[in-house]
């Protein structure tokens, strides 16, 4: 897990979780991820939910890598796959 201080006027802290499957996401964040995974159709794509999550939390500086997201989803019994993508043009 990597923690970085980001230089901003607001002095907000950037938290970036990257690396190996041994890295863990804090439980409150896991609950948000699992709730969104269960609520929306991500078509098994951990890449899609990672992009959504990182965009949603961009202002906080909190980021999660694709590898850690996929590991977290699998750890909690979700059938997630890396390398899948969901078309953004509305076709499926």
Q: How confident is the model at residue 76 (pLDDT cuts 50, 70, 90)?
A: very high
Is residue 45 in some structural domain? yes
Residue 36's domain spans which residues?
Answer: 20-86
pTM: 0.68
Of all residues in the chain, the percent with pLDDT exceeding 90 is 52
The rounded distance, in Å, linking the Cα atoms of 82 and 71 is 10
pLDDT at 5 over 80: no
The rounded distance, in Å, linking the Cα atoms of 92 and 69 is 23
Is residue 12 in some structural domain? no
Higher pLDDT, 4 or 62: 62
In this structure, the number of other CB atoms found within 10 A of the CB of residue 42 comes to 21
Q: Report the pLDDT averaged over residues 69-86.
A: 89
Is residue 33 in some structural domain? yes
Is residue 72 in some structural domain? yes
Is residue 78 in some structural domain? yes
Is residue 59 in some structural domain? yes
Number of domains in the chain: 1
Is residue 70 in some structural domain? yes
pLDDT at 65 over 50: yes
């Amino acid at each position: 897990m990597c923690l970085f201080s980001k230089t901003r006027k607001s002095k907000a802290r950037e938290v970036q979780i990257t690396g190996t499957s041994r890295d863990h996401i804090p439980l409150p964040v896991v609950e948000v991820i699992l709730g969104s995974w269960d609520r929306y159709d991500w078509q098994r794509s951990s890449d899609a939910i990672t992009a959504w999550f990182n965009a949603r939390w961009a202002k906080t500086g909190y980021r999660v890598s694709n590898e850690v997201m996929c590991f977290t989803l699998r750890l909690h019994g979700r059938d997630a796959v890396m390398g899948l993508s969901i078309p953004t043009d509305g076709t499926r």
